[in-house]
Structure 1
């Protein structure tokens, strides 16, 4: 199943990236693509829309990592036995269970000019409202903030699960040795949260690099293509308004896959090295 639905499509996408193909077969069912070798990749190098999409993805990747410390500290706050803690957990968990489409719509209304809450707040503070989704310099950061809302909730859940498995005897021993606060967190708690951290990093990297739905719902890549990311540009080139350039879309997909594998492989290697040194 993994070979059919994961490995084989990856191989097909890489192969397709060397062709110029409109996605159609002839009447005999034969492939009509033209082999262009590295032509699609050479075109990417000089494509300003691809450059914008790549830089936006890097912004997503860097800023999305804020979900890890924020999710960890919320999880530590919620890992208590006090009255009403289940209600608080439910409130923090809520963003994760709603659809990304709903998240996009909520934040689109939040940022909306004239009546959006964020617009009205900035207007009351500075005298002039800020329409984030209409500003080419700010739009990507506004969408990233929308994506962080459910992502922090997801990371929080992972760390809450990990905190339930922290050995209480190690905590007590550390307290007897005088460890507390950040020292307790850094030397005692975080080493036991490595499995949760590993999963959190993987899902956060993947979430940052496949940020298609929020861009599609909130801006459609605008204004003037300034909020495009690689996954959305791939869709535009392969199936969207730019025509059925399947080979070019596949080349964008291969670049996105390569970036994802670099980060994930690097983190897996670091985790493996740390485990072998212990």
Structure 2
């Protein structure tokens, strides 16, 4: 018997996994290690690197903008946790055998196909205090519209509100896919036993959506932590850095200030935060499944 036939039980999986592992190792792992290496240097992106050890990380601890960006990332995470709940609520609403519901589904799906830059431009117009739709609504009530994107206290909430629009649509699609895979016989048995409304949702539907819920929460949190593109379109981190996140501060320090070592230090902190969250969340998920 040839070597191939004797070992094909594990050779086939290895062959299929190798391309993905190679791409992941090159693009993700190698890039993360290179970023960590750069964070230990002072480098303008073109000349030779100068070893500075942990100086970039010590500077982060004394940088007020770092704490502003970190606070904004926490705001993004907390507000983005609304996306799975809202997505589930919309999915339950549009997953009904009602005439014309496909049109409603397509309307909710629209934000997902828009580029983040397009979403940012739309909401810049929406928030504009002189001619935006928000200004028109305030005008109907006889009130003065706020300049949300110019207010240091409100700008982050306004930007996150814009980013939530496509994120809720994404979560809705995930939950619609999950709802379509629920075993109808289980629902029928629950109805026979008298389960209705809230009891049906909590005890029958949600347990069968646990994997979808995990994916929706994980993607939402990771999306909030790496938020960049819509900030670049709507505020460029302003006013006075009040809407910047760690991802945007990393970009600003690297591209505009030519401080690639400092930018890499911010990226390393951000990567560490994402890794800790994923490890903690996977641990909780696996422990709940064992129970």
Q: Which residue of 2 aligns with 1:251?
A: 265
SS at match of 1:4: helix
What is the CA-CA distance between 1:109 and the residue it aligns to?
A: 0.2
TM-score computed with the length of structure 2 as normaliser: 0.90
Q: Which residue of 1 aligns with 2:32?
A: 10
Q: Which residue of 1 aligns with 2:59?
A: 43
Query: Please, which runs of 5 or more residues in structure 1 have no aligned partner?
Result: 26-31
What is the CA-CA distance between 1:97 and the residue it aligns to?
A: 0.5
Alpha-carbon distance in structure 2 between the residues aligned to 1:126 and 1:68: 35
Q: Which residue of 2 aligns with 1:60?
A: 76
Alpha-carbon distance in structure 1 between the residues aligned to 2:221 and 2:275: 10
SS at match of 2:141: helix
Structure 1 residue 177 corresponds to structure 2 residue 193: yes
Deviates more, 1:125-134 or 1:105-114: 125-134
Q: CA RMSD in A?
A: 1.1
Given candidates 66, 69, 72, the residue that maps to 2:88 is: 72
Note if contact 1:119-1:131 (Cα within 8 Å) is conserved in structure 2: no
SS at match of 1:81: coil
What is the CA-CA distance between 1:121 and the residue it aligns to?
A: 2.0
Query: Please, which runs of 5 or more residues in structure 2 have no aligned partner?
Result: 1-22
What is the CA-CA distance between 1:126 and the residue it aligns to?
A: 5.7
TM-score computed with the length of structure 1 as normaliser: 0.94
Alpha-carbon distance in structure 1 between the residues aligned to 2:235 and 2:142: 25
Deviates more, 1:100-109 or 1:163-172: 163-172
Given candidates 197, 203, 209, the residue that maps to 2:225 is: 209
What is the CA-CA distance between 1:119 and the residue it aligns to?
A: 2.3
Alpha-carbon distance in structure 2 between the residues aligned to 1:179 and 1:66: 27
Q: Which residue of 1 aligns with 2:43?
A: 21
What is the CA-CA distance between 1:178 and the residue it aligns to?
A: 1.6
Alpha-carbon distance in structure 2 between the residues aligned to 1:3 and 1:126: 58
Note if contact 1:205-1:264 (Cα within 8 Å) is conserved in structure 2: no
What is the CA-CA distance between 1:5 and the residue it aligns to?
A: 1.1
Given candidates 194, 215, 218, the residue that maps to 2:210 is: 194
Alpha-carbon distance in structure 1 between the residues aligned to 2:194 and 2:93: 21
Deviates more, 1:255-264 or 1:160-169: 255-264
Alpha-carbon distance in structure 2 between the residues aligned to 1:248 and 1:129: 39
Bigger CA radius of gyration: 2
